[in-house]
Amino acid sequence: MTQANPLPPFAAIVVAAGKGLRAGGDVPKQFARWRGKPLVRHSVEALAKDGASPLVVVIAEGQEIEAQAALSGIDSIRLVAGGTTRQDSVRNGLEALASDNPRNVMIHDAARPDLPIEVIERLLGALETEPGAIPVLPVVDSIAVADGDKMSGKADREALRRVQTPQAFRFDQILAAHRAWQGQTDAGDDAQVLMANGGSVALVEGDERLKKITFAEDLVNNTPSFRVGQGFDVHRLVQGEELWLCGVHIPHDKGLSGHSDADVALHAIVDALLGAIGDGDIGTHFPPSDPQWKGAPSPLFVEHAVKLVDRAGYRICNLDLTLICEEPKVGPHRDSMRAKLAELLCVDIGQVSIKATTTERLGFTGRGEGIAAQAIVSLQRDS
């Protein structure tokens, strides 16, 4: 997004000192990969791009190497050691900014990687009249008050809001509030620290994109909702071989030559499926150098690729296949081919398209020397 007017100056603190135990894995959550980058890098990059200066990242003792690797190439980052509680960590970050004495400061959790600039604009706008501002969203579900495992009452959701970060403050007031808070119990968030010291907090509109990454499945479920893969394959037509296309036996005076049954259509489909989930190609999983695949029926390869798609958390939306050849004519076999492909891909036949074209007698397909196939598949995350 291009800014019509530059944002007012502000500093920022990104809190990344937690252990992230609920997310599992071998590394703390803030250093786990999300959409191709360490989780902490997303919000730090966004704040740096939007003009945050200075920019402090609070990390746990002993995490300097991981943090430097995760944030390499981002200029003007200050790494500060955190404390035993979140409040201690935030205060350490604020104290590291004391000599700079910025007018405004954003305090953000590294576990909220998707940071829209519109939220930053609204927060800074609110600081023109208030010492603190936080992004919030309405509560849409009914709220029950619990007494153990029993419902004891009902809360008024109209008076409740879901609180997000970043939270924005006048620097001198939030620093004073944290200094006054020292030694008290954990506050939960910085807005409560400011209010306990007499400061008021404005509410601005938050954004669903600021969803917090908490559990291991959150890291997985934030992969793209849709993925697309394409595959292309060619096989030579020779005498003495059977012709298989889309798992269907086609009567013809020639067949396709290859290590397996040489079903060029299914091979292209397998490559498209594997490409969509970023898992190599058909040769990676079924190398032609392996004798066990000599003459193997290609539906086995498709079934394997479909299982990998399922394990990756996706389902097949549609397949668009183009067969390129002069002979045989595909039209008479199209319906049986679509039915077979629907069976192999575990989809409705309406999700399968098969087209055929020629190259106007040009090239190896035009001379009847072989058949080419191009497949495109789309996948949707299976929520």
Identify the pLDDT of residue 95: 97
Q: What is the mean pLDDT of residues 228-254?
A: 94
Tens of pLDDT, residues 165-188: 999 999 999 999 999 987 677 777
Class of residue 294 by CB neighbours under 10 A (exposed 0-12, middle 13-18, buried 19+): exposed
Identify the pLDDT of residue 222: 55
Tens of pLDDT, residues 77-107: 999 999 988 999 999 999 999 999 999 999 9
pLDDT value at 2 more than 50: no
Looking at the chain, which runs of residues are DSSP E strands?
11-16, 33-34, 37-38, 55-59, 77-81, 104-109, 132-138, 143-147, 150-155, 161-163, 167-170, 201-205, 226-238, 243-245, 248-250, 255-257, 314-324, 352-357, 370-381
Contacts of 138 (CB under 8 A, 6+ apart): 157, 161, 162
Tens of pLDDT, residues 20-56: 554 445 678 899 888 778 999 999 999 999 999 999 9
pLDDT value at 122 more than 90: yes
pLDDT value at 1 more than 50: no
Tell me the C-alpha distance between 101 and 54, whole Å: 10
Identify the pLDDT of residue 34: 82
Tens of pLDDT, residues 66-76: 999 999 999 88
Identify the pLDDT of residue 19: 66
pLDDT band at residue 215 under the 50/70/90 scheme:
low
The per-residue pLDDT of the chain, averaged, comes to 90
pLDDT band at residue 344 under the 50/70/90 scheme:
very high
Domains and CATH numbers, the chain: 11-221 (3.90.550.10), 226-381 (3.30.1330.50)
Give the pTM: 0.64
